Amino acid sequence: MSRHHASSEDIALDRLPKAPLNRESIRETLSLARYIKPYRRRFLAGLATLFLSATCGLVFPFLAGSLIDAAMRPGGVSLPMLGPLSLNQVALILAAAVSLQALASFNSALAFNRVGQSALADLRRECYQRLIALPMAFFGQRRIGELTSRVSTDVAQIEGALIDALPQMCRQSVFLLGGITLIAITSGQLTAVMLGTLPILIAAAVFFGRRLRRFSRETQDQLAATNTIVEETLQAIASVKAFANETFELGRYDASNRRVLAAALSAARWRAVFVAFFILALFGGIVIVLWFGAGLLQSGKITPGELTRFVLYSTFVAGAMGQSAELFSQIQKTVGATQRVRELLREPTEIDLDHRRATTATMPPGRSKGAVEFADVCFRYPARKEVAVLRHLNLSARPGERIALVGPSGAGKSTITALLLRFYDPESGHLLIDSRDARDYPLTWLRAQMAIVPQDVLLFGGTIAENIAYGRPGADEAAIREAARQANADVFIRAFPEGYATLVGDRGIKLSGGQRQRIAIARAILKNPAILILDEATSSLDSESESLVQVALDHLMQGRTTFIIAHRLATVRNADRIAVIDAGQVVELGTHDELAARPDGLYQRLSALQFGQLPATEPGTPLEAQP
């Protein structure tokens, strides 16, 4: 298969950066041994059978040469520790050696695969466990593609090293060292001639290898650019067709595809030259060795069997040396992959950070009352330290109270809910839950008291029932159906042919916006939180869907402390209190009627803009308000 037709996983592995081999990087890589430790007996058994297989491989040329000598001598040959043997006896021993090698190879391959796959399953699980336990500040400074690469591409590289590279390295080391020793024992003169031809092959492999890798990387880069065009076009296919730009997109793809072809053909030319040169140098070296060996054979200095033995051992040595460059490159990539995975595993999780502050945190009895207070809270996002998002914010909510948060975009409304969920902690000040600092509660308990219904609901790609049960894993079917009924979702769910077993598709694409919102509400109802967060839960819905969702939300909010983020003031008029946030502070607080009655208040101006009492483009208005 040509390189430009390789799979995306192969391309990703080929493009992995190589790490320098030093004491620190090697020690880092050897730390992977702890994942092998639970399977060490099988690993050692695989290692033993691997060396047995390699030893049998080294015995093969010796017995093959002896077989030829036995055929040339009527009395047979005499082998160390076995004595005189006939042609048939040597052949029988050779067949037994080949059979033993095959059996040992089977056992070693199976053992290494079982150990490798089991160890990597543990590593993948630990990586994923660590990844989902990391704080939001970590994700705010990393790209998702980079993180998924740690669990997929980097671990795949380690997999290749454990299952393929490590056994190959052990096997080829035995072949190289054993082969050189045995050819030196067979004929010192032929060994000198053979070793004289190796530098040419090694130099050629290094020279051509570097250029082939450069052209291969160029081909991969061009192919990645071509794939990006395909991905962008298919993601925006509606826009492509709406603007009748099929021809334009085809032109873009053709230009990129031609660059891929040019790079691939350049690599193919160098590869063809390398193959031709390598064949010439390899077989030229063999011709020289055979010519010199034939002269020794003619003069009676070696036997036909010894010449055969020497040629076979030389092939083993050449093969081992030929694979050394690829193995070294794979080891470098594995070292780099190990370093990146280990960096991820060393990242402190939310639980780790919690324990550093609240080592004596105890699980509160029962359910939270739902009392919330932000006391003089200041906050900056870790990735934007220069921007103060909340400035000495003070806000409280009594148990069961509905607090609406309104204000211009960027004022800090969503940040308040992020702090409430403890995605982040205040830079200064305190967030109090039931009159106790939120950081003094175990994080899992605290979040178990809360639920959120976001503006853009992200459903998982399973069934409707599974998505509702996400609010309380393990809930029975009756509880799921009751939650759906209270969320005004049971009717449309039962209308589907497969009912609650209906697959929602990637990110819930098979459901409408209103249906996804009601699934999210059912999920929150099933969780039965003490504190509820509604983040623009109806802003993107049509009037009919909004009405159904609003009824469900009204039911959900009963008896729960609720924080409602909204730009549309019609959705927050019935809140117990409305907090107007501006520049990270609560600038106004009261009911709708109280705030609307303030002639120069920010809420009154926002209300006037939304209900058409002021021009929507009034100069100096610091609001982003849409009806």
CATH topology of domain 368-449+529-627: Rossmann fold (3.40.50)
The domains of the chain are located at 18-346, 368-449+529-627, 459-528
Torsion angle of the four alpha carbons 613, 618, 623, 625, in this order, in degrees rounded to the nearest 10: 50
For 14-49, what is each residue's pLDDT tens digit? 444 454 555 666 676 677 778 888 888 998 998 899
* Predicted TM-score of the model (pTM): 0.67
18-346 and 368-449+529-627, same CATH topology? no
Tell me, what's the pLDDT at 623? 38
For CA atoms 384, 387, 393, 395, give the dihedral sign.
negative
Tell me, what's the pLDDT at 5? 41
* Entry field: residues in the chain: 627
For the cut 50, the answer to whether the pLDDT of residue 10 exceeds it is: no
For CA atoms 104, 107, 113, 119, give the dihedral sign.
negative
Three-state DSSP state, 441: coil
Find out whether 21 and 332 touch, Cβ atoms under 8 Å: yes
Long-range contacts (CB closer than 8 Å, 24 or more residues apart) made by 133-139: 133/349, 133/350, 133/351, 134/347, 134/349, 134/350, 135/348, 135/349, 135/350, 135/353, 135/423, 135/424, 136/418, 136/423, 136/424, 137/381, 137/382, 137/383, 137/424, 138/347
Tell me, what's the pLDDT at 432? 93
Find out whether 120 and 35 touch, Cβ atoms under 8 Å: yes
Confidence band of 399 (pLDDT split at 50, 70, 90): very high
Q: Which of 361-365, 559-563, 611-615 has the lowest mean pLDDT?
A: 611-615
Tell me, what's the pLDDT at 244? 84
Top mean pLDDT of 21-35, 55-69, 288-302, 477-491 is at 477-491
Tell me, what's the pLDDT at 40? 86
- Top-level class of domain 18-346: mainly alpha
Confidence band of 354 (pLDDT split at 50, 70, 90): low
Return d(Cα 560, Cα 397) in angstroms, integer: 11
Return d(Cα 69, Cα 319) in angstroms, integer: 25
Once rounded to an integer, what is the mean pLDDT over residues 316-343? 73
Mind giving me the DSSP string for 537-551? TTTTS-HHHHHHHHH
Return d(Cα 252, Cα 75) in angstroms, integer: 77
Once rounded to an integer, what is the mean pLDDT over residues 484-503? 87
Once rounded to an integer, what is the mean pLDDT over residues 528-549? 74
Gap between the terminal Cα atoms of the chain: 58
Q: Which of 99-103, 280-284, 420-424, 466-470 has the lowest mean pLDDT?
A: 280-284
For the cut 60, the answer to whether the pLDDT of residue 4 exceeds it is: no
Q: Which residue has the higher pLDDT, 284 or 576?
A: 576
Find out whether 588 and 603 touch, Cβ atoms under 8 Å: yes
Q: Which residue has the higher pLDDT, 524 or 337?
A: 524
Three-state DSSP state, 437: strand
For 214-268, what is each residue's pLDDT tens digit? 766 677 677 777 877 887 788 788 888 888 888 888 888 888 888 888 888 887 7
For 557-584, what is each residue's pLDDT tens digit? 888 899 988 777 767 778 889 999 988 8
Report the greatest alpha carbon distance in the chain.
121
Three-state DSSP state, 12: helix
CATH of 459-528, one of 3.40.50.300, 3.90.550.10, 3.30.70.600, 3.40.50.2000: 3.40.50.300
Tell me, what's the pLDDT at 420? 92
Tell me, what's the pLDDT at 379? 93
Q: Which residue has the higher pLDDT, 356 or 328?
A: 328
Three-state DSSP state, 122: helix
Return d(Cα 147, Cα 161) in angstroms, integer: 21
Q: Which residue has the higher pLDDT, 176 or 372?
A: 372
Confidence band of 544 (pLDDT split at 50, 70, 90): low
Token pair for 524: 């929150």
Tell me, what's the pLDDT at 612? 54
Mean pLDDT of the chain: 78
